[in-house]
Structure 1
């Protein structure tokens, strides 16, 4: 396949979705059908497609609409797991972190320094230095002797204050600085799906599996899906099905076999977002809290602070940060921050559900999400159907390899995984673009901040954005109420990244949902005006998209004032979705 063919095939559009559904439902059938379009499912699609398998992936919402868009946005080895002596998990994650930083996604994944504040000058520094030193050594070994991030550095109290002037004087005696990495989680998923499509995977979002098909022997041989854009029901034949639906794992499994397969516990994690100028620091912070961990993570225009880790039993479609959750994160952050944060400083919040493997509990014991394994497991649900759950964003590639190996059985020996060497869209040619970006930026009138922002979004595909602007210079203008983004960002989201609705752009492509108090609502009219001609919307269609998004914004704002998850979810129950999921009867 030529690079031009790959580039064209990797574009996700309204038309590519229709063609994918038509191809998935033809008489040829699929080798593998993947259910779930989060980071795990997207990684599986890429792994399967690059092994030469006829691959299809369906997702009931938009790509990354579930857990994968609501992480701490870190690619990390799991330093806290090292202190639990989970060496295998940490080593695996550090190896994957290095690969993403240097080979498969260097444009998306960036090294990020963190401070580990020390409260005791001698003993704590000694054992922390050993732990972090081991972290560095394991990363070095995983990268085959190459340093993918700088090693730890030790700072006195005075040195720490130079890096993080905003820290309270009485909360530390010094600090150790170590490195992990950050990533826009939703963009990682979208680029994974696009890369899989470039290698031939058939990808269809807003397509819900509503039943599993079996042959006369009881073996799974396909699925019935509902096109949530048209309400049409379609039949897909597949030799193997892999369930990668995260917190929906048990619901999906039950369509094939009741009371079988993996048991998953949903754990809610929330984050708050504050303006970059609100915290005076040039490094992030990582520390343990009484219930979870606290990350203070710097991004281009803001800080992300979190997280929580609490069992969740409400509607998994609509987790939201409650007033209690938000105050908890504020309180934990204010333990360290000298100029304490208030509710008025918050410009955004988000909430997601971690799919954690549920152990078998003895009668009378309590569920505690912090004791549930983060490691992933693959198991058979029914003949020809398997499920994978657990794990974390950093190790998605390993999870995908294991899932496809399991599905193929002995055939995996002759079709080994190759994804450790497969760059994602935007990675090929990235180093060359770095050499010419200044001239491109000068011609386009981009300042240093915009140049870095666009490079981290698109990598080598920044030239595609430039081509759009050259054809229509109006697209080179910033959005009026969100000048950090260009009008071209919106059009490219539709023309290449599979955005079908206003929500898709604001929440997972342009992501104003995270960094503006109105969640990007003030830019909605301008954005739908750009999307409408691309998607064939009438004026009525466009207004409906804005109205739906306004409902969502108002409902979340109301939910954030409540104290409990049940109260919060109640505010979102009546919000109309752009493509509502069908409630399943869970019949086997």
Structure 2
């Protein structure tokens, strides 16, 4: 089994020292999927690379998506065949090669509600989509089902609302873990990575950017980082970062809010996920997670697509957002959902290239790369599935200004940590379960989160057998997973562990409040927390959950935003990038 560079606090401290004392070919600002992807792309071309992030890996948009690798079915209606085909190629790469431990195919049902018209119209669009995606990471072609077979696959469907369906496949991924694993893979190739490191300004020599001023949000330390080229991959914060440089940016980004709900799997009886149209976007009802024995789990319901111009760090889901999703889901269901069925809620912001349309759903999901100032490259727009293409384009633009020969992107052949050896471990998972002393279902779940890095968890369990026990208030997760988040995966705060390394914050009825003290005690020795720090972390997490719950009872965005801001950020200062 594989071992890799551990992103622990000691490594982070060494990396900050290196950022302050060494010169870099490329410094990437923002460790969402695009920034982490750019760091991996650059370092595997032989460049000396730094990657800094103001909060946590994937703390923004990249942990709050619909968690799909998909081609973008609705983009066919905009005749954006290039974007669809490009995304389908990336879906195949993710599912079959780059991260098969993190990405899985999921079968979806597209319900038909009007006889004749729906089947012809939807069948044509999905048929074109299916032909374009044939053989691209999914195990089967589309199927047309009548009402009887539709209801057999989807017993919870409203018989009066459904006349049939079309089924096809997409890919699913835990976006936060995937993004973190990209950053960790970049570190394994030599990138110098630091989270909780906020850019406060740019260093200029004449008309060229030559680095950044950085603040370590954990200690307050100020440092300067020198680089030939800085890549701004800050998503919805791109305009804010461009303002630090001065002058007008090459393009504008608009933030579109998308919210998602988590409900228990037993509330909807269906063997497939569902995708349907709404007046504004697509509605997804996606199977999400499972228990250690292969049971349980949830449905992820999303998404909205509305303009947002309030707080970027903590977008809030309002009561109106939640009711909108429940209403559209209930239009398909015989047993209606209520707010009491909602276990978790999360909201994210899509960074869209601003256009003339008033509707964010019509703004471009295409990406753009520009160099508004010498020494600075900006990448914006795009969609999660095509992050690798965006990253390569950004690095192409960055190396254009370097006085050296740089090879082309090779990330199409760079496996993420955990992928190498995964299939062999999956095939021998029975023996692996026996050697680790864990139930088979638990090992299958761990392989889907860590792949061939599962051996690193096994080493921790061998040293401390009690780590194989489940967390008391979140028993679908083991104690070792919480500890490993701090010892290997760069987690610095309870938020990082409960919201991104695990999904406890949206998969438990109390949203992780009950497990917070137990996790804090587990990781305290690694993160250097004394009793006061443990209490501070737990209090902050409780305040965060309370503020989120309060925001979700507010009628509109303005009041929801005000309620969410009632809980201050756990890191020193509040900003993106």
TM-score between both structures, scaled by the size of structure 1: 0.94
CA drift at 1:517:
2.3
8 Å contact from structure 1 (residues 149, 180) kept in 2:
no
Using the alignment, how far apart are the partners of 1:119 and 1:466 within structure 2?
50
8 Å contact from structure 1 (residues 262, 387) kept in 2:
no
Q: 1:324 aligns with which of 320, 325, 328?
A: 320
Aligned to 2:219: 230
1:260-339 aligned at under 5 Å gives the runs: 260-299=249-288, 300=290, 301-339=297-335
CA drift at 1:136:
2.3
CA drift at 1:262:
2.3
Q: 2:409 aligns with which of 417, 422, 444?
A: 417
8 Å contact from structure 2 (residues 485, 497) kept in 1:
yes
8 Å contact from structure 2 (residues 143, 168) kept in 1:
yes
Using the alignment, how far apart are the partners of 2:396 and 2:464 within structure 1?
46
CA drift at 1:414:
4.2
- Check if 1:369 corresponds to 2:369: no
Aligned to 1:436: 428
Aligned to 2:19: 24
- Check if 1:191 corresponds to 2:170: no
Q: 1:14 aligns with which of 9, 14, 19?
A: 9
Using the alignment, how far apart are the partners of 2:354 and 2:169 within structure 1?
31
Using the alignment, how far apart are the partners of 2:316 and 2:440 within structure 1?
35
The 3-state SS of whatever aligns with 2:314 is coil
Using the alignment, how far apart are the partners of 2:575 and 2:480 within structure 1?
37
8 Å contact from structure 2 (residues 9, 526) kept in 1:
no
Deviates more, 1:288-297 or 1:130-139: 130-139
The 3-state SS of whatever aligns with 1:400 is helix
Q: 1:384 aligns with which of 351, 355, 375?
A: 375
Q: 2:391 aligns with which of 392, 400, 404?
A: 400
Q: CA RMSD in A?
A: 1.7
CA drift at 1:503:
1.1
Over 3 Å counting, the alpha-carbon distance change for 1:163 and 1:445 in structure 2 is farther
Aligned to 1:581: 573
Aligned to 1:125: 119
Aligned to 1:493: 485
Aligned to 1:60: 54
Map Cα deviations across residues 256-276 of structure 1 (whole Å, 9 max, x no partner).
122222201011100111001
CA drift at 1:341:
0.1
8 Å contact from structure 2 (residues 72, 87) kept in 1:
yes
Over 3 Å counting, the alpha-carbon distance change for 1:448 and 1:286 in structure 2 is farther
Over 3 Å counting, the alpha-carbon distance change for 1:150 and 1:583 in structure 2 is closer
Aligned to 1:342: 338
Over 3 Å counting, the alpha-carbon distance change for 1:306 and 1:8 in structure 2 is closer
Using the alignment, how far apart are the partners of 2:229 and 2:488 within structure 1?
29
1:11-90 aligned at under 5 Å gives the runs: 11-26=6-21, 28-90=22-84
Using the alignment, how far apart are the partners of 1:460 and 1:476 within structure 2?
18
Q: 2:169 aligns with which of 179, 194, 198?
A: 179
Using the alignment, how far apart are the partners of 1:531 and 1:243 within structure 2?
32
Q: 1:355 aligns with which of 326, 351, 356?
A: 351
The 3-state SS of whatever aligns with 2:371 is strand
Using the alignment, how far apart are the partners of 1:41 and 1:507 within structure 2?
20
Q: 2:509 aligns with which of 517, 520, 544?
A: 517
Unaligned stretches of 5+ residues in structure 1: none
Deviates more, 1:398-407 or 1:535-544: 535-544
CA drift at 1:137:
2.3
Using the alignment, how far apart are the partners of 2:44 and 2:354 within structure 1?
32
CA drift at 1:21:
1.3
Over 3 Å counting, the alpha-carbon distance change for 1:77 and 1:526 in structure 2 is same
Over 3 Å counting, the alpha-carbon distance change for 1:222 and 1:173 in structure 2 is same
8 Å contact from structure 1 (residues 60, 581) kept in 2:
no
8 Å contact from structure 2 (residues 425, 432) kept in 1:
no
Aligned to 1:151: 141
Deviates more, 1:342-351 or 1:557-566: 557-566
Using the alignment, how far apart are the partners of 1:352 and 1:260 within structure 2?
24
- Check if 1:209 corresponds to 2:204: no
Over 3 Å counting, the alpha-carbon distance change for 1:86 and 1:64 in structure 2 is same
- Check if 1:481 corresponds to 2:473: yes
8 Å contact from structure 1 (residues 208, 581) kept in 2:
no
Using the alignment, how far apart are the partners of 2:42 and 2:20 within structure 1?
18
Map Cα deviations across residues 467-498 of structure 1 (whole Å, 9 max, x no partner).
21111110000001111000000111111100
Using the alignment, how far apart are the partners of 1:443 and 1:21 within structure 2?
38
Using the alignment, how far apart are the partners of 2:138 and 2:503 within structure 1?
28
Aligned to 1:565: 557
Map Cα deviations across residues 106-142 of structure 1 (whole Å, 9 max, x no partner).
010000111011123434323433322222222237x
Q: 1:533 aligns with which of 521, 525, 529?
A: 525
Aligned to 1:113: 107
The 3-state SS of whatever aligns with 1:296 is strand
Over 3 Å counting, the alpha-carbon distance change for 1:79 and 1:413 in structure 2 is farther
Deviates more, 1:493-502 or 1:569-578: 569-578
Runs of 4+ in 1 over 4 A off after TM superposition: 410-414
Map Cα deviations across residues 358-396 of structure 1 (whole Å, 9 max, x no partner).
02x4xxxx6321121010000112111010110011000
